[in-house]
Amino acid sequence: MILNEEIIKQIKAKSGLLLDQAKDISVLADKIFADTGRNIGVTTLKRLFGTINDSRKTNEYTLNTIAMYLGYATWQKYTETNSIDSVWNFSEDETYHIQELAIGTNFCVEYLNRKVSFVVIQRDGINVLEVVSAKNSSLQKGDILYVHKISVGKILQADKVIRGESIGNYKTNGEIFEVNVNNA
């Protein structure tokens, strides 16, 4: 999805950026985070501004974050106020139920400045997540997480985490803004 010219014009005015240089997108991502406390990835912003060709759907979290940056509580409030008549192609419920995923499914979750990759495995007769890699996270490779579901726009919460002989729990401080799934 590409934002329409009016929205881009409002973002340029608010940010003070022309958005004509590659570094402007990175600066905009930082400004959005500073204003809203929510992340939108540089690649996602490039997709929204049409600088890269990508047919992925834009999720509600991203649209709500754009709306918040422009001073509105939600994307719906923004569109109502600004008479946006375009059809926005986003998934209203980008939720992955762990028990419904195939064993061996790999996926990556991004939140705040963190990125964690998982693989679905079976343990004790149920599907659980094993950490494959983690960047800027307290999770470590090999950690086993008992998670019911993962949803864009929500926190990641594990009722039980097994690390070697230790057992604990885990909850992110920020909302998930992107999930990429590669089915087994």
Is residue 90 domain-resident? no
* Chain segment 137-152, per-residue pLDDT in tens: 999 999 999 999 998 8
* Chain segment 23-61, per-residue pLDDT in tens: 999 999 999 999 999 999 998 998 888 788 776 778 889
Is residue 87 domain-resident? no
Q: Which residues contact 177 (CB under 8 A, 6 or more apart)?
A: 38, 39, 40, 41, 44, 61, 62, 65, 110, 111, 152, 153
Is residue 170 domain-resident? yes
Q: Number of structural domains, the chain?
A: 2
Is residue 88 domain-resident? no
Q: Identify any residues that bridge with 176 across adjacent strands, giving them in sequence order.
A: 111
Q: Are residues 106 and 178 in the same domain?
A: yes
Last residue of a domain, one of 82, 112, 136: 82
* Chain segment 1-25, per-residue pLDDT in tens: 678 888 999 999 999 998 888 899 9
Q: Are residues 76 and 118 in the same domain?
A: no
Q: Are residues 72 and 100 in the same domain?
A: no
Last residue of a domain, one of 82, 105, 121: 82
What's the rounded Cα separation, in Å, for the pair 1 and 22?
19
* Chain segment 148-169, per-residue pLDDT in tens: 999 888 889 998 999 999 999 9
Which domain range does residue 59 map to? 5-82
Is residue 57 domain-resident? yes
